[in-house]
Amino acid sequence: MKITVLNIIASILMLNSLSVNAQNSAVKMPVDPETKLITYKEVVSVAGTPSELFNRAIEWVNKQYKNPADATKVRDQASGIIEIVHRIEISKIEKGATLVAGRVDYSMKIELKDGRFRYTITNFNMKDISRQPLERYMDKQDKSYIPAWDDYLKQVDDFTRKMIDSLKQGMQAPAPKKPDTW
């Protein structure tokens, strides 16, 4: 059995590629240092009064969720707070078919003040026989760890980041209407 230099180089390149892919698959999700929970949180400056921002936020909620009345647990314009509890459906591919791998519950709080709003998205829990905190999926030392957990975390992270982008877009002041001159 002859081993050529070309075979050795090809093997090294393939192993290096696998190593890079494994490093890239690890998702870095933001973890609150106090609560130790995955938490997306930001204060965003945007033009508008608390009342205007509240109306924009409700409009965004109504577009974002199929059943916005069920998703929103608090809609308090006086305090400028909207609280949402909802779920993300994650998937897996088995034998070429895309299947539901589970559902991840999360909570979101939108707080509105003059010229700014703050969102906090946290309390991610995988619905299983019992609810499993999603932070467990970040622990590669967990005796139950499976590589699919990395994909589940990526799906949740991708969904959450897209939702944040959508919220920021929805909270922007509407373009001024042009007068109807005819």
Domains, the chain, in order of start with CATH, read: 27-134+142-170 (3.30.530.80)
pLDDT of residue 44: 97
The residues, any chain, with a CB within 8 Å of residue 22's CB and separated by 6 or more, are none
pLDDT of residue 11: 41
What percent of the chain stands above pLDDT 70? 84
Tokens found for residue 44: 């965003």
Residues of the chain with pLDDT under 70: 1-26, 175
Tell me the residue type at 170: G
Nearest-angstrom CA–CA distance, 14 and 40: 36
Tell me the pLDDT tens digit for each residue of 1-53: 445 444 444 444 333 333 333 334 467 899 999 999 999 999 999 999 999 99
Q: What is the pairing mode between strands 116-126 and 40-45?
A: antiparallel
Q: How far is CA 161 from CA 4, 99, 110, 157, in A?
A: 47, 23, 15, 6
**Helices 148-170/50-64 angle, 10° precision:** 130
Nearest-angstrom CA–CA distance, 109 and 73: 10
Residue 30 gets which letter from DSSP?
A: -
